[in-house]
């Protein structure tokens, strides 16, 4: 018998689950049963089974007219029949593929054996050519399992069928009709297809522009299903390029149901992919092993994995689709959570931390020397940090604080505490400009309590604060090889206490003598992989990651479940709301005039050049051109400076220095100033092509002004923003609060993209959404519970889970 009974079983199980309501199959079970009977009769070869099968009388099924008891009996009989045939090899027909796969011996319920076929390349499927596989590969799909997890981004609801007489304009609807005539015809000057179809209530025309081939596929008198919208044309309805499908002896794929829409590019055709997907889920979804322990699955009321995968593609109805999504989103969040918990456990248990003994009087005199008082939020966070540092377990903390909330000074205090206790501290910034700024501002605050005894380009020594001199160094990529090596040597020897730099700091050649604390600034993408690399330096330093990208608490806990969370939730007193306006091209001249007026009042301004391309060279060129244009044509009387990624560190430093000292009125810049730059006298931020930046990036730009006591302004130039660009501009005009903006940003982008989970070495989130707060909490609670019972996932019932975890957690070591 060559019947594919997997999907059949599922239908009958579903019907049983739903209380024999004749709802397992769209359109009722009868048609389905008759169809199945015809196939079965043709394929059952054993006479005994054939006789048994005929007793079921399915070729003339009247399920709809049976009462519940009778239905129950019939389904039970069918199951009994399927059971009895198990003795015969119920082997599924292998899909004919281009490559002949060696026949595999299958023992019936052996998940390992069947599971293996999920890892076969997509080319083993019937109809998948090498060319098509190459296209799939670009979408990240290589194996059959990848295909199963290649979910549609939405579904079209073609499930409601209408009679032709019931059609109305505008809505998506489906009809089943006879083809009276289909022919190639000229439509809008090009060859297309026109068909007339009819049912018992009337006739309707359907046209497909630009597609003469369909005519051949619609023979007269064929039964066809059309799904789509109709338009009124010359007083009559016309289907315009509807989805179509012949009503043959098979389940509907493109019409008459919830039809999946896949986000495709790479030249893959939607119909082709949909058909392939149907084949794949029918045949393989049932082979996916459910890795969740059954007790957990039941407690959380989640549907089984094969069912979820099936329904995520070809859902029965909205409810089934939703249940499927919930299950799959739970999986993502749960595995993520298990992974981060595992890492935290590894770090904290495998190596002891380095307790810092905090020198309170020294810190107090440092804090007293500051030109301002710490805000209560800064004080609270500093206390949390110091408490962590004193513990013999390595700190893993995320510090969130709105742009301008004063994170740097808090981090500086923590670095000082570590230095006073004999440890080295590293302060990492995302860009060289920012590293340089930190170097000069930390030097500046230190020189308020200590006296500078030595000053070289990249080195400062202070005395009077610690019992020995305190040494601060700057290490960035474009230092000369000699000075880099000199500093690296000093770091190795333990002659540098606080080392400030870019990510060059965690590259291999930097060997710390006694690294006690690492501060990572402005890096919500500082991934798990990077953090673990720090710990492999033979030491287990305390780690503080700082970000101005506020992450909703639950999400932060989920994505950074290995980090504790501190928040600076207030700005220093006296800060103002920054007036933010989105301007059109026509308002450019008045924007420039306004900027001139501000400069005349002694203020300074930033102009951010458009984001041309990822290439630094191209960006630099565009910035140079813009700088020249502005200097010559727009602001001939003002002093302009230019900064871009192609300048050497010394050149950048010089420009920043002049801007900070007030020698320049306007700083023209590529988007490199995005984070962290602090010039209190600057009051105008003008961003070109503002619609091309993300919300948090725009918020960061805006955060460069409003740092002093003067009213500040953010002007966003955007001519023809896309829909999403417009949405972002509207939001940033209205909302000042970074947290609220981040929430909105998440809604626009979805968590996966928001966090750049790929870059951070975290598994992808495809099904999980920001609004899934309850599910997030559930996943976290379950992960903690499981982790407490069986941290190594060693128990037999967790074997599948452990394998799944290993499969999704493959954080790359992307450290350069």
Binding residues for ligand ADP, per CB under 6 A?
372-375, 378, 401, 403-409, 548, 572, 676, 678, 680, 707
CB of 559 to Mg ion, least distance (A): 21
CB of 678 to ligand ADP, least distance (A): 4
CB of 569 to ligand ADP, least distance (A): 12
Segment interacting with Mg ion (CB under 5 A) among 120-128, 249-257, 305-313, 669-677: 669-677
By beta-carbon proximity to ligand ADP, the closer residue of 117 and 547 is 547
Which tokens hold the place of 139? 């979408």
Q: What H or E segment, with its residue span, contains residue 658?
A: helix 649-660
By beta-carbon proximity to ligand ADP, the closer residue of 343 and 407 is 407
CB of 161 to Mg ion, least distance (A): 60
- In the numeric block, the tokens 């630009």 are attached to 210
Count CB neighbours of 324 within 10 A: 25
Q: Tell me which of ligand ADP, Mg ion, none is bound by residue 721, counting a contact when its beta carbon lies within the kind-specific cut-off of 5 to 8 angstroms.
A: none
Segment interacting with Mg ion (CB under 5 A) among 386-394, 674-682, 696-704, 747-755: 674-682
By beta-carbon proximity to Mg ion, the closer residue of 353 and 676 is 676
CA within 13 Å, CB half, 128: 27
Q: Tell me which of ligand ADP, Mg ion, none is bound by residue 550, counting a contact when its beta carbon lies within the kind-specific cut-off of 5 to 8 angstroms.
A: none
CB of 446 to ligand ADP, least distance (A): 13
By beta-carbon proximity to ligand ADP, the closer residue of 217 and 369 is 369
Give the single-character DSSP code of 578. P
By beta-carbon proximity to Mg ion, the closer residue of 306 and 676 is 676
Distance, in Å, from the CA atom of 276 to the CA atom of 471, rounded to the nearest integer, reads 64
* Site for Mg ion contains 676 (CB under 5 A): yes
Segment interacting with Mg ion (CB under 5 A) among 135-143, 670-678, 718-726, 763-771: 670-678
CB of 546 to ligand ADP, least distance (A): 7
- In the numeric block, the tokens 């007083």 are attached to 235
By beta-carbon proximity to Mg ion, the closer residue of 161 and 440 is 440
- In the numeric block, the tokens 């939001």 are attached to 731
Beta strands in 377-449 (DSSP E): 396-401, 424-428
Q: Tell me which of ligand ADP, Mg ion, none is bound by residue 358, counting a contact when its beta carbon lies within the kind-specific cut-off of 5 to 8 angstroms.
A: none
Distance, in Å, from the CA atom of 666 to the CA atom of 475, rounded to the nearest integer, reads 28
CB of 401 to ligand ADP, least distance (A): 5
Q: What H or E segment, with its residue span, contains residue 412?
A: helix 407-420
Please give the backbone phi and psi of residue 46, each rounded to the nearest 5 degrees, phi first. -80, 120
Q: Tell me which of Mg ion, ligand ADP, none is bound by residue 409, counting a contact when its beta carbon lies within the kind-specific cut-off of 5 to 8 angstroms.
A: ligand ADP
| Residues 499 and 505: beta-carbon distance below 8 Å | yes
Measured at CB, which residue is nearest to ligand ADP?
406
**Beta strand 396-401 with 564-568: parallel, antiparallel or unpaired?**
parallel
Which tokens hold the place of 23? 């709802």
Measured at CB, which residue is nearest to Mg ion?
676
- In the numeric block, the tokens 């007793």 are attached to 55
Report angle CA 406, 410, 415 to the nearest 5 degrees. Answer: 140
* Cα–Cα distance list, 352 to 394, 421, 516 (Å): 7, 17, 12
Question: SS3 of 259, please?
Answer: strand
Q: Tell me which of Mg ion, ligand ADP, none is bound by residue 572, counting a contact when its beta carbon lies within the kind-specific cut-off of 5 to 8 angstroms.
A: ligand ADP
Q: Tell me which of Mg ion, ligand ADP, none is bound by residue 405, counting a contact when its beta carbon lies within the kind-specific cut-off of 5 to 8 angstroms.
A: ligand ADP
Distance, in Å, from the CA atom of 323 to the CA atom of 317, rounded to the nearest integer, reads 10
By beta-carbon proximity to Mg ion, the closer residue of 242 and 676 is 676
User: Which of 628-659 are b and which e, b meaning 16 or more Cβ less than 10 Å from the residue's Cβ?
Assistant: eebbeebbeebebbbbbbebebeebbebbeeb
By beta-carbon proximity to Mg ion, the closer residue of 118 and 677 is 677
Going by C-beta distance under 8 Å and a sequence separation of 6 or more, which residues neighbour residue 343? 528, 532, 562
Q: Tell me which of Mg ion, ligand ADP, none is bound by residue 800, counting a contact when its beta carbon lies within the kind-specific cut-off of 5 to 8 angstroms.
A: none
| Residues 563 and 375: beta-carbon distance below 8 Å | no
User: Footprint of Mg ion on residues 92-121 (CB under 5 A)?
Assistant: none
Distance, in Å, from the CA atom of 396 to the CA atom of 410, rounded to the nearest integer, reads 16
By beta-carbon proximity to Mg ion, the closer residue of 177 and 742 is 742
Q: Tell me which of ligand ADP, Mg ion, none is bound by residue 660, counting a contact when its beta carbon lies within the kind-specific cut-off of 5 to 8 angstroms.
A: none
Q: Tell me which of Mg ion, ligand ADP, none is bound by residue 233, counting a contact when its beta carbon lies within the kind-specific cut-off of 5 to 8 angstroms.
A: none
By beta-carbon proximity to Mg ion, the closer residue of 676 and 761 is 676
Q: Tell me which of Mg ion, ligand ADP, none is bound by residue 738, counting a contact when its beta carbon lies within the kind-specific cut-off of 5 to 8 angstroms.
A: none
> Which residues lie near Mg ion (CB under 5 A)?
676
């Amino acid at each position: 018998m060559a019947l594919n009974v997997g999907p059949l079983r599922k239908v009958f199980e579903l019907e049983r689950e739903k209380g024999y309501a004749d709802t397992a199959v769209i359109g009722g079970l009868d048609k389905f049963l008759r169809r199945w009977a015809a196939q079965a009769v043709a394929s059952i070869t054993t006479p005994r089974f054939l006789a048994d099968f005929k007793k079921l009388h399915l070729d003339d099924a009247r399920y709809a007219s049976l009462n519940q008891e009778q239905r129950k009996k019939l389904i039970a009989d069918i199951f009994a029949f399927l059971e009895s045939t198990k003795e015969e090899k119920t082997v599924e027909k292998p899909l004919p593929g281009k490559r002949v796969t060696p026949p595999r011996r299958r023992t019936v319920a052996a998940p390992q054996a069947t599971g293996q076929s999920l890892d076969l390349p997509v080319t083993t499927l019937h109809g998948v050519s090498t060319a098509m596989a190459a296209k799939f590969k670009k979408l990240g799909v290589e194996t059959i399992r990848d295909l199963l997890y290649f979910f549609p981004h939405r579904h079209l609801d073609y499930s409601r069928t209408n009679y032709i007489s019931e059609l109305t304009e505008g809505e998506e609807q489906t009809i089943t009709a006879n083809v009276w005539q289909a022919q190639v015809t000229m439509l809008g000057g090009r060859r297309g297809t026109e068909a007339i179809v009819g049912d018992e209530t009337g006739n309707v025309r359907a046209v497909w522009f630009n597609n003469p081939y369909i005519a051949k596929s619609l023979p007269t008198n064929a039964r066809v299903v059309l799904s789509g919208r109709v338009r009124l044309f010359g007083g009559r309805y016309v289907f315009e390029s509807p989805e179509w499908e012949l009503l043959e002896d098979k389940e509907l794929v493109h019409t008459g149901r919830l039809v999946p829409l896949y986000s495709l590019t790479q030249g893959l055709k939607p119909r082709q992919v949909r058909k392939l997907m149907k084949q794949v889920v029918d045949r393989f979804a049932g082979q996916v092993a459910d890795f969740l322990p059954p007790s957990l699955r039941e407690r959380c009321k989640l549907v089984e994995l094969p069912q979820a995968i099936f329904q995520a593609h070809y859902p029965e109805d909205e409810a089934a689709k939703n249940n499927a999504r919930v299950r799959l989103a739970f999986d993502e969040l749960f595995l993520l959570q298990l992974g981060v918990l595992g890492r935290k456990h590894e770090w904290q248990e495998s190596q002891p931390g380095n307790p810092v003994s905090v020198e309170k009087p020294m810190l107090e005199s440092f804090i007293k020397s500051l030109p301002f008082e710490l805000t209560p939020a800064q004080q609270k966070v500093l206390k949390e940090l110091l408490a962590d540092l004193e513990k013999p377990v390595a700190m893993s903390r995320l510090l969130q604080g709105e742009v301008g909330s004063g994170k740097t000074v808090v981090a500086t205090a923590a670095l000082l505490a570590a230095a006073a206790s004999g440890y080295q501290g590293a302060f990492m910034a995302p860009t060289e400009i920012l590293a340089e700024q930190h170097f000069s501002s930390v030097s500046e605050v230190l020189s308020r309590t200590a006296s500078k005894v030595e000053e070289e380009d990249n080195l400062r020594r202070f005395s009077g604060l610690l019992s020995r001199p305190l040494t601060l160094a700057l290490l960035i990529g474009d230092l000369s090889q000699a000075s880099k090596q000199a500093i690296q040597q000093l770091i190795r020897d333990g002659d540098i206490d606080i080392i400030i730099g870019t990510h060059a700091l965690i590259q291999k050649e930097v060997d710390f003598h006694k690294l006690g604390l690492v501060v990572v600034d402005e890096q919500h993408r500082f991934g798990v992989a990077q953090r673990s690399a720090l710990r492999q330096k033979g030491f287990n330093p305390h780690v503080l990651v700082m970000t101005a990208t506020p992450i909703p608490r639950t999400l932060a806990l989920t994505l950074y479940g290995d980090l504790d969370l501190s928040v600076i939730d207030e700005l220093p007193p006296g800060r103002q709301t920054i007036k933010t306006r989105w301007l059109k091209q026509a308002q450019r001249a008045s924007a420039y005039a306004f900027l001139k007026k501000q400069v005349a009042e002694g203020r300074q301004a930033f102009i951010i050049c458009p984001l041309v391309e990822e290439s630094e060279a191209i960006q630099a060129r565009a910035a140079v051109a813009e700088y020249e244009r502005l200097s010559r044509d727009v602001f001939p009387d003002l002093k302009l400076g230019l900064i871009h990624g192609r300048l050497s560190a010394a050149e950048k430093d010089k420009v920043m220095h002049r801007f900070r000292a007030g020698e320049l009125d306007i700083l023209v810049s590529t988007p490199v100033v995005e984070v962290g730059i602090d010039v209190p006298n600057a009051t105008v931020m003008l961003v070109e092509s503002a619609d091309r930046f993300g919300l948090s990036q725009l918020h960061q730009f805006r955060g460069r002004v409003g740092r002093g006591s003067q009213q500040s302004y953010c002007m966003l130039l955007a001519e023809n923003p896309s829909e999403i660009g417009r949405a972002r501009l509207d939001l940033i005009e209205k909302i000042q609060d970074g947290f609220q903006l981040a929430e909105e940003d998440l809604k626009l982008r979805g968590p996966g993209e928001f966090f750049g989970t790929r870059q951070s070495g975290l598994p992808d989130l495809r099904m999980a959404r920001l609004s899934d707060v309850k599910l997030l909490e559930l996943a976290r609670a379950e992960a903690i519970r499981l982790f407490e019972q069986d941290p190594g996932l060693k128990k037999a019932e967790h074997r599948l889970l452990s394998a799944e975890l290993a499969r999704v957690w493959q954080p790359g070591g992307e450290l350069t």
